[in-house]
Amino acid sequence: MKRFFFALDIQDDPSLIAEYEEIHKNVWPEILQSIRDAGISQMQICRAGNRLVMLMETDDTFSFEKKATMDAANPVVQKWEQLMWKYQKALPFAKKGEKWVLMDKIFDLQESMV
């Protein structure tokens, strides 16, 4: 298993934040299936203000390249991603078109224990 953390901002608008959270209470089944098919075994999104952090745990079949290829070929995923741009806002240092930015791990308790 590998674990990845990502960050993303959403629009700083209480009504849009509420809509975004409501949509994520009932994610489209095709999106959930595409996540699982990519080798993602667990995904959680947490919010503080308008900052989101996503935890993604993957199995050995996962690769970012595989996920990108699968997403590009899936019209439902493309429709979902287009809808999400209504709410999401790229981080100031994100690359053009980049949403979720992979975070660097700077501390791990398990690795620090002797």
- pLDDT tens column, 29-84: 999 999 999 999 999 999 999 999 999 999 999 999 999 999 999 999 999 999 99
- Minimal CA–CA distance to 97: which of 8, 5, 3, 4? 8
The answer to the question of residue 109 being in a domain is no
The answer to the question of residue 72 being in a domain is yes
The answer to the question of residue 110 being in a domain is no
The answer to the question of residue 6 being in a domain is yes
Question: The domain containing residue 7 runs over which residues?
Answer: 2-103
If you average pLDDT over residues 2-29, what whole number do you get?
97
- Minimal CA–CA distance to 84: which of 21, 36, 41? 21
* CA–CA separation, 36 and 57 (whole Å): 11
- Minimal CA–CA distance to 23: which of 33, 35, 34, 32? 32
Kindly tell me if the per-residue pLDDT of 14 is higher than 70. Answer: yes
The answer to the question of residue 89 being in a domain is yes
Report the number of distinct structural domains present in the chain: 1
CATH number at residue 49: 3.30.70.1090
The answer to the question of residue 114 being in a domain is no
